[in-house]
Amino acid sequence: MGLVLRGNPIMKVENSKRIEALTFWQKPICFEPLEGGITNQNFRVEHGVDTFFVRLGEDIPEHGVYRFNELAASRAAFACGISPEVVHEESGAMVLRFIVGKTLETENLRDHSTMQKVVSLLKKCHLEMPQHLPGSTLIFWVFQVLRGYAKTLRDGKSRMIPELSRFMEINSQLEKTVGAVDLRFGHNDLLAGNFIDDGQRLWLFDWDYAGYNSPLFDLANLASNNEYSENLEQQLLEIYFEVSVSEDLWKRYFAMKCASLLREAMWSMVSEIHSTLDFDYVNYTTENLKRFENTYENYKFL
C-alpha cells in the first residue's frame, strides 16, 4: 500500500533504538527515515562507506503479511536480478543494499518504453522466481483475500458491514469470470513507489504481498494503481501475452481489475479498525470505493 504517514514521535524513538540495536553493524551508523511506507518503516542507513536500506515491520495477519514470506521472496528476487541483495535479517527487520536512483511516479509508468521494462521484470518474477523459492510459499488469491477481509470486518464490527454481502456477491461473480488461471508467482502490490530507476535499469522491491497468483492480477494491479487509459491497458496485455487482446482475455482482465480495486478499498476498511498509524483511512476508503464502483459499472456492460 502506498501511503505517506505523518510522524509519530514515540514510534520514531522506538524505531531509532531498533535500528541501532541491529547486530549487523560493525561501525557507528547515521540514518534517516524514508517516506512511503505503510506496512513497514523504511530507513536509509550510512555505515562507513556503505549505504543500506532498512525495513522494520512485524507480521500483519489481518492483511496476510508474514515476514518469512517477504524475506524468501526478496532473496529470490535478488537471485533473479530484480531486487537488491538482502544482507541481514532478524526479527522484525531486514537490511538490503541501497539502490541509488529515482523512485518512479505514476506518470512514469504510463510511458510505453517504461511499461516494456516493467513487463520484463514481471515475467522474471512470474517465471524465474519459483526456481529460487523454498518449498513452502504463500498464495495470494485476491478473491480469497476479499473473503478474509469480509470476515475480519464483520468480526471487528466495521461500519461497512451493511455493504459486505453485496461486495461478496460481486467477488464471486468476478472470480467466476476470471475462471481457470495459469498459476505464477506474483508481486501483487505494483505501486509506482515500488520501482526504482538507477539510470541503467529498473528495480522492483517491497515483497510484503508476494505469492502465487494469476499474472492477470499483477497486470490489472499495475494498471489500476497507476490509472492506465484503456489504450494503455490494451498495450500492456499485448506486450505481456504477445498476442492480440481477445474479447475473452479483456473481460477476464477487467474482472481482475475490479477485484484489485475492491481489494484496495477493503484493505483500507480493515485498516480503519486495526491500524494504529496516523492516517485518514475513512477518506482513503471513500476514494477507493468510488474508483471501484466506477470501474465495476463499466465491467457490467462488457
Residue-wise pLDDT for 20-67, tens only, equals: 999 999 999 999 998 766 667 899 999 999 999 999 999 999 999 999
Do 191 and 294 belong together in one domain? yes
3-state secondary structure of 105: coil
Rounded to whole angstroms, the Cα distance separating 248 from 245 reads 8
Give the C-alpha separation, 295 to 290, whole Å: 9
Where a domain ends, among 80, 97, 114?
Answer: 97
Residue 234: exposed, middle, or buried by beta-carbon count in 10 A (0-12, 13-18, 19+)?
middle
Number of domains in the chain: 2
Q: What is the pLDDT of residues 224-248, one digit of tens each?
A: 999 999 999 999 999 999 999 999 9
Q: For the whole model, what pTM was predicted?
A: 0.92
CA distance 145 to 150: 9
> 249 and 186 in one domain?
yes
Residue 2 lies in a domain: no
DSSP state of 38: S
Instruction: Report how far residue 235's alpha carbon sits from residue 230's, in angstroms, rounded to the nearest whole number.
Output: 9
Give dist(CA 53, CA 45) in Å, integer. Answer: 6
Same domain, 180 and 264: yes
Note down the domain range covering 92: 9-97
Which tens digit of pLDDT belongs to each residue from 136-168? 899 999 999 999 999 999 999 999 999 999 999
Retrieve residue 298's grid coordinates.
463499466
Q: With respect to residue 82, please indicate whether it lies within any of the assigned structural domains.
A: yes
